[in-house]
Amino acid sequence: MAIRPALTLATTFTKAADGKPATYGLELTNQSDTTVSDFTLCFIAPTRVDLEATFDNATLKRRSSNFVEIAPPDGFVLEPGGRWKTATASLGRDLQHWSDGANAAYLAFADGSTVPIESVPTTLTGDNAPLKRGTEPFPVPGPGKAPAPISVVPWPNLVAIESIGDTPAGLAVQATGEAAKAASVFADLAQSLFPADGLIRPVAEGGLPVSLATDAGQKPEAYRIAFAADHVTVHAGGHAGWLYGLVTLGQILRGARRHPLTFGFPTSGEITDAPAFGWRGSHLDVSRQFYSTAEVQQFLKIMAWNKLNRFHWHLTDDEGWRVEIDAYPELTDIGAWRGHGLPLPPLFGTGAARNGGYYTKEAIRQTVSLAETLAIDVVPEIDVPGHSFAAIVALPWLSDPDETGAYYFHDNFPNACLNPAYEPVYEFVEKMFGELLELFPSKTFHVGADEVPEGAWEGSPLARAMNEKIGGVGPEKLQAAFLRRVQAFLTQNGRITGAWEEAALGGGIDKAHAYLVGWKSVEVSAELAGEGYDIVMAPGQRYYLDMANGAQWSEPGASWAGWSGPEETYTFEPGEGWTEAQREHLWGVQACIWSEHLTDRAIFDRLVFPRLSAIAETGWTAKDKKSWERFKSMAGLLPNLYGYWSE
């Protein structure tokens, strides 16, 4: 038996030229010694071919979101050593980056069996640049070349170092009572991110004594560090402040130990620090790709190392439902899995095999409690009424039985939005939210609200009647009515409703109990702040970490909002040009990690780091204290998640 697949799929994108349209070419090669016939070719690519795509030398059998199945001409036989070439020009838009092309493929047969195919990254005709994967390493400057004497990201707001001396071997944190918890959380954090660095060590092993003192006057996240030659004291009002003070010390120590002639450890002086914004977040889309509990927890630790304090957990979307709900086991029995022949087809990087997963309630409880120790508030997102295909596939009774026709968001799955005029939808939402309220203590609960397409619910008699009654044209007023009802439920339960910016459409929701995440453009966010909505800034152009780092084909990532390198992301200033009144509604900043393009973990590492830290510094450090040169000199000391670094 062959251990590696003996079939390979090579794909090529050719830009439009000389009157010829842009084309996407596929070439299947049979390197086995068996003849293959009566098959279809299934492939998955972030760039969708049109719903009615035509292919040279092949027929489209099925196109479901990013899944495509094509058949060779009748009677076609792929001999050993043979090739089958096909191409299509039916593309909604050009491919921009290598990760836009096919990243998984297999052959399917009439009896339901499949054969894996090795799919090699898509090439761009005429471009041979080596493909990028893994975090870009930012070299730490040589001796005496650093723009700052110590390494800390995000940079503290007041650094009054008087002298730099010998770097201790480690930190011996001595704390009692409440502070002991911060000391032990920090020890676990340092140990888990840098297991062999020995950042924490007893005095007997050369650890520098560090004590944690209570300073009731400090704000919750603020801290002050006082350095002496033989001793350091961290003053804070409570847990978050102590933890952040210790993280600062840990970073200083690590930089000085690894680059002793570049960065140092203070022996006198002070650091006084507090964040610029209360909301310093990262979102993670666990629907398009599933990340195990272990990965999520490790990611939370990296967030804490960057002093990020809000984890926006995007738990559901069209392509997967990721949280256990006792009342509706189908959500995870059906909605958490993709694969050949399953209601959800293979998508985003995986082939025929069943792929996916979900978080049990126990896993969520553990993760929320870990986050709490790391001073991170976990904000769950259940994306409704749009992006609900996985839920509707799992629970088909959620659709109005009299609905006819099909509507699509960007050619994705059909009829993927919960119907605001269909009463069973509300019972579902309230029961399901009810279970989630018990799992997530956060004051904020995010309900999605993004990207309901034009044409949604037009085929539903109930929705048409409701729209007529409320005077709506198109889906906006219907969506707003739905969201207001859902919000009222959350408000009764003491929660603030979070949503993407589209929740302001069609009359919007109650501003007094809401916040919106602005993503489409800075201008829209400013406008909404002006209308009185509290805003978290996550502009796609700069803070969507699925966007590529550069314009080149060799850079993986999405492109609908352009590209943003670490420098562009770092230098973006939220709230710039806003009026005082608008700025009062600016809660803070948030990275968004959408996962369609993150089809392998090396792409994750390339796209997320160090841009996550660039956003963290903007969230923490006062605007006039930010410096790209300084950040760049320290970025190489920051951890990534999976340990992939680019060459």
Residues 6+ apart with CB under 8 A from 415: 392, 399, 403, 406, 407, 459
Cα–Cα distance for residue pair 239/241, rounded to 1 Å: 6
3-class SS of residue 336: coil
Q: 190 with 202: CB under 8 angstroms?
A: no
Q: Choose between 193 and 499: whose C-beta lies nearer to ligand TNX.
A: 499
Q: Is 244 in the site for ligand TNX (CB under 6 A)?
A: no
C-beta of 411: minimal distance to ligand TNX in Å? 14
C-beta of 286: minimal distance to ligand TNX in Å? 12
Residues 6+ apart with CB under 8 A from 19: none
Q: Is 409 in the site for ligand TNX (CB under 6 A)?
A: no
Cα–Cα distance for residue pair 390/84, rounded to 1 Å: 34
Cα–Cα distance for residue pair 389/406, rounded to 1 Å: 13
Looking only at residues 187 through 216 of this chain, which bind ligand TNX when binding is defined by CB under 6 A?
none
206's tokens: 């050369």
Q: Choose between 67 and 84: whose C-beta lies nearer to ligand TNX.
A: 67
Torsion angle (degrees, nearest 10) of CA 44, 334, 389, 415: 100
Q: Choose between 86 and 590: whose C-beta lies nearer to ligand TNX.
A: 590
Q: Is 450 in the site for ligand TNX (CB under 6 A)?
A: yes
Q: Is 544 in the site for ligand TNX (CB under 6 A)?
A: yes
Q: Is 546 in the site for ligand TNX (CB under 6 A)?
A: yes
C-beta of 249: minimal distance to ligand TNX in Å? 37
Q: Is 381 in the site for ligand TNX (CB under 6 A)?
A: no
Q: Is 568 in the site for ligand TNX (CB under 6 A)?
A: no
Q: Choose between 314 and 630: whose C-beta lies nearer to ligand TNX.
A: 314
Q: 309 with 281: CB under 8 angstroms?
A: yes
Q: Which of 378, 379, 372, 366 is nearest to 239 (CA)?
A: 372
C-beta of 386: minimal distance to ligand TNX in Å? 9
C-beta of 448: minimal distance to ligand TNX in Å? 7
Q: Is 617 in the site for ligand TNX (CB under 6 A)?
A: no
Looking only at residues 302 through 341 of this chain, which bind ligand TNX when binding is defined by CB under 6 A?
none
Q: What is the x/- site pattern for ligand TNX, positions 335-374, by CB under 6 A?
A: ----------------------------------------
Q: Choose between 450 and 605: whose C-beta lies nearer to ligand TNX.
A: 450
- Out of 303, 417, 558, 635, the only residue in the binding site for ligand TNX (CB under 6 A) is 558
Torsion angle (degrees, nearest 10) of CA 583, 584, 587, 592: -30
C-beta of 523: minimal distance to ligand TNX in Å? 16
**Angle (deg, nearest 10), helices 178-193 and 293-305:** 110
Q: 318 with 65: CB under 8 angstroms?
A: yes
Beta partners for 114? 108
Q: Is 451 in the site for ligand TNX (CB under 6 A)?
A: yes
Q: Is 594 in the site for ligand TNX (CB under 6 A)?
A: yes
Residues 6+ apart with CB under 8 A from 429: 384, 418, 486, 489
C-beta of 59: minimal distance to ligand TNX in Å? 30
Sign of the four-CA dihedral 333, 301, 131, 92: positive
Q: What is the x/- site pattern for ligand TNX, positions 484-523, by CB under 6 A?
A: ----------------x------------------x----
Cα–Cα distance for residue pair 634/158, rounded to 1 Å: 18
Q: Choose between 262 and 287: whose C-beta lies nearer to ligand TNX.
A: 287
Total number of residues binding ligand TNX (CB under 6 A)?
Answer: 9
257's tokens: 């130990």
Which residues of the chain form contacts with ligand TNX (CB under 6 A)? 450-451, 500, 519, 544, 546, 558, 594, 596
